[in-house]
Structure 1
Amino acid sequence: MISRGSACPRCGQATVSIREAVPWCAVCEWNLDTFDRAGRASEFGWAWIDRGTYRLAARLNRQQYAVLVDRPLESSGLGLAGVLTAVASILLTAGVVVLAAIGVWLLFAFPFPNVAVVLGVAMIGLAVALRPRFGRLDPDLDVVSREQAPGLHALVDEVAGAVGAPLPHVVAVDDSFNAYTTSVGLRRRRVLVLGLPLWGALDGQARIALLGHEPGHFVNGDVRRLLVTQPALTMLGNAADLFRPGHSSVGGGIIEMIGDALGRMLSWTVSRLLFGAHLLLVVTALRDSQRAEYLADEMAARAAGTAGATQMLDTVLHGDAVLQVVRQSCRGGAGPATWRADVGRSLTAAADRLPLLRQFSIRERTSLFASHPPQGLRHRMLTARARQDSRVTLTETRAEQLDAELARHFERVGRQLAWATD
């Protein structure tokens, strides 16, 4: 998996490589930010564009890390990217309101019937199609009420209190190797979702870190969760889909064919322009989102200690191997207590490789469209700062009690993992 190559031209140490990737120096990080076309999925379809956007993203990642590493990681409200996103949201929403108002005016401005009515109805319909969406609770989530899992809710309350985060309105579980928070609806109801394969694989302090990190997004100014920024992140993308040309009409004369071709060309051009503007806004917002991730990691360290937070990051970084360990445990009929023990042994066995995997993630996870900084930079940010002790401790006994509350959900997910193909 890890191979060593020729001497680094900068410091003379042997270069390293993982999975046949372009080699780099683990000591001075020479060549680490090199664009490795063979090891990356294409984002735009043109190598020269992918190379340019990768280099821009790598430079922005390094600059952001350098700016934040020596500063207190405290929420200071919206940054420049967040302000630009909010302004764009206000302008887009105002545009849709004006569009709807003109449509209503056209309905009544002239004696009926008239062509203006058709235009007015079309403008109102377009305004409805382009209206801001504020999300809704995923109906496929398994919502876990306080009555069903009092211990879990009590732990969420305790960790939220330790880091100064508001409580989620909804706690739910799913079958993903993930965890996330979101805010839905105009009232921005806070939702915390724990993916049971990840939750079951984490030991006590890593679980505390996860609970410190995710609700931290409710107070770190993450633009993805704010009401005022939602229109900018969704409206132009919806408009681009709306104007995307459909299938060509079949049959008809030459005039119809020319008209269809011109209409499709105009529609495609408008759709691409809207999509380009959407990408620009998303890329701008994601810069601020990455800053928010560093702050959420800091809150994870406050709750679980630096060791617990870094272990949580390493478990996610080693995700494919961890999920394979969990899957094997499920096939043996074991529950989450065994998952944790097996994953702990797997991470211990991989301890010598983890520093290189963290470095490799700096190259592998760099993208203008990444909502998170690379795990290697996140781990480095935590260890470069003053070490923190845990404010909340989760013993194995208490962890097993939490697992018992979710036993029905763990059994279902365990069956799914046991039958899943590798």
Structure 2
Amino acid sequence: MSTVAGETVQACPECGTEIRMDGRFTVWCAGCDWNVDPEQSREKLSRLARAQRALARRHGEKLLAELTAGGTLRPRRDASSLLAYAFALAVHALTLALAAGGIWLVIEGWGGWGMVPGVFLLALGWSLRPRLPRLPEDGPVLTRADAPELFALVDEVAHVAGTRGVDAIVVDGRFNASVMSYGVRGRRRLTLGLPLWETLTPQQRIALLGHELGHYSNGDTRHGRVVAGALRSLTTWHYFFLPIADPEPLEVVVNLFYVVPRWLVLGTLMLLDRLTLRATQRAEYLADRMAARVGSTQAAVELMDRLLVSDSAAVVLHREVNTAALRGPRGARNDTRTDGLWERLAADLASVPEHERERQRRAGALRGHSVDATHPPTHLRHACLLIGAPTPPAVVPGEARESRIAEELADARAKVARRIIRDGFDG
């Protein structure tokens, strides 16, 4: 092994190909993929997550094959989606039956011990009730009055996507972005994770907004209130039936009693997940197409590549937190490390060389990397975007607009940076 101009030079132990690598990153061979994903064997997933990932990959590959053969993606309600609605309604009906049974037992047993099972059923029904998402109480939440330029940009992207804008923008410290409806009136909320937003170019940010807002026009069954509420209820049921750790003799009996209902709930959860997964995969591909339509194919592809380096972003932010911890009490370290945090993160990710980005792409394909277990693998989404002629951008942000948006986000940037330095980075 030798070092030339800051690069590590060695022969691949598998095929003998000369490897020239930056010492900051994993040494691997582009000729035979030796050591392309050293972390793969350490990744630990639950049984449900492994099943979800395998199913997501199969559905993703099938949909991509259909597109490659000249097929089209359209939002539609197929038999699986209708069956998922039926199962979701059954879950909600069970919750309603528990509540109704509890009310009846309380009335019938008023003043006596008969009220006890009634109160228990009412408490159970209440804990399993469909919950409407709300705005977070502890994070920066922007309204149109707080960030008129940012909301104007979102409205412009939404217009191209064929939908309306959002009612609130939540800013947090995750390397992600999302949309959801909240409240009784079904208002719309966009969540922007600053570790992702601050490391994107202006055009990539447009593609990100196009992807997220595209979810409102593509008929994603899984994110509808009925199915999403049923999934949350089933997850709560599963939590109730988890075995007691380090059980006493009586608790061993309780654990045995829990086995059958736990597996019934898990089976129903997996069935509902399976019924909605194909529609969810289609919705993600459609959202990616919208990202390309709004921000350009190039920007959408670059956004996919940026998602692959989320681990690098986590390393940088953990390093920032550890450096701050070595510099003294919290109050002092907040002031010294929050200033310039986002600029340092963006510069670090921008310095990632192409050979490391290529390793991330290949590792992602081998591992089936995805944003979560319900998304198509990132490499398949990347390939889907490259089908057909490149799309030019429909929305182009100017420098003046970018500057005004940065000013509107300045306070949120400082708050989120302080929170990361104080509490650590968790995603």
- Which TM-score bucket, shorter chain as reference? 0.7 to 0.9
Distance 2:52 2:212 in 1: 29
Secondary structure, aligned partner of 1:172 = strand
1:284-299 alignment runs, 5 A limit? 284-299=275-290
Distance 1:396 1:339 in 2: 21
Question: 1:306-355, CA deviations, whole angstroms, 9 ceiling, x for partnerless residues?
Answer: 01111111112122335666888x96954767765x368425x32x4534
From 5, 12, 16, the counterpart of 2:33: 16
**2:93 corresponds to:** 94
**1:232 corresponds to:** 230
Secondary structure, aligned partner of 2:351 = helix
Distance 2:72 2:255 in 1: 52
From 305, 308, 311, the counterpart of 2:299: 308
Task: Quote the offset at 1:209 in angstroms.
Answer: 0.3
**2:201 corresponds to:** 203
Cα 1:368–1:285 change in 2 (3 A) is: farther
Q: TM-score, normalised by structure 1?
A: 0.78
Secondary structure, aligned partner of 2:169 = strand
Task: Quote the offset at 1:138 in angstroms.
Answer: 2.0
**1:28 corresponds to:** none
Q: Is 1:43 equivalent to 2:42 in the alignment?
A: no
Identity of aligned residues (%): 32
Distance 1:148 1:132 in 2: 31
Task: Quote the offset at 1:421 in angstroms.
Answer: 8.7
What residue identity is the alignment partner of 2:412? H
Distance 2:404 2:342 in 1: 11
From 254, 271, 295, the counterpart of 2:262: 271
Secondary structure, aligned partner of 1:236 = helix
Q: TM-score, normalised by structure 2?
A: 0.77
Task: Quote the offset at 1:115 in angstroms.
Answer: 5.6
Question: 1:15-64, CA deviations, whole angstroms, 9 ceiling, x for partnerless residues?
Answer: 21344559xxxxxxxxxxxxx6x25324239xxx96x8765554333223
Secondary structure, aligned partner of 1:387 = coil
What residue identity is the alignment partner of 1:195? G
CA contact (8 A) 1:58 1:366 kept: no
Distance 1:345 1:16 in 2: 24
Task: Quote the offset at 1:94 in angstroms.
Answer: 1.4
CA contact (8 A) 2:172 2:191 kept: yes
From 272, 280, 284, the counterpart of 1:281: 272
Secondary structure, aligned partner of 2:85 = helix
1:59-138 alignment runs, 5 A limit? 59-69=58-68, 70-76=70-76, 78-109=77-108, 116-138=114-136
**1:317 corresponds to:** 308
From 116, 125, 139, the counterpart of 2:137: 139
Cα 1:276–1:366 change in 2 (3 A) is: farther
What residue identity is the alignment partner of 2:81? G
Distance 1:274 1:285 in 2: 17
Secondary structure, aligned partner of 1:194 = strand
Secondary structure, aligned partner of 1:181 = strand
Question: 1:239-274, CA deviations, whole angstroms, 9 ceiling, x for partnerless residues?
Answer: 222234547887xxxxxx5x6543331134323432
What residue identity is the alignment partner of 2:197? W
Cα 1:124–1:322 change in 2 (3 A) is: closer
Task: Quote the offset at 1:170 in angstroms.
Answer: 1.0
Task: Quote the offset at 1:394 in angstroms.
Answer: 1.4
CA contact (8 A) 1:302 1:388 kept: yes
Task: Quote the offset at 1:203 in angstroms.
Answer: 0.7
Equivalenced residue count is 386
CA contact (8 A) 1:105 1:120 kept: yes
Cα 1:98–1:174 change in 2 (3 A) is: same
Secondary structure, aligned partner of 2:165 = coil
CA contact (8 A) 2:174 2:194 kept: yes
**1:254 corresponds to:** none
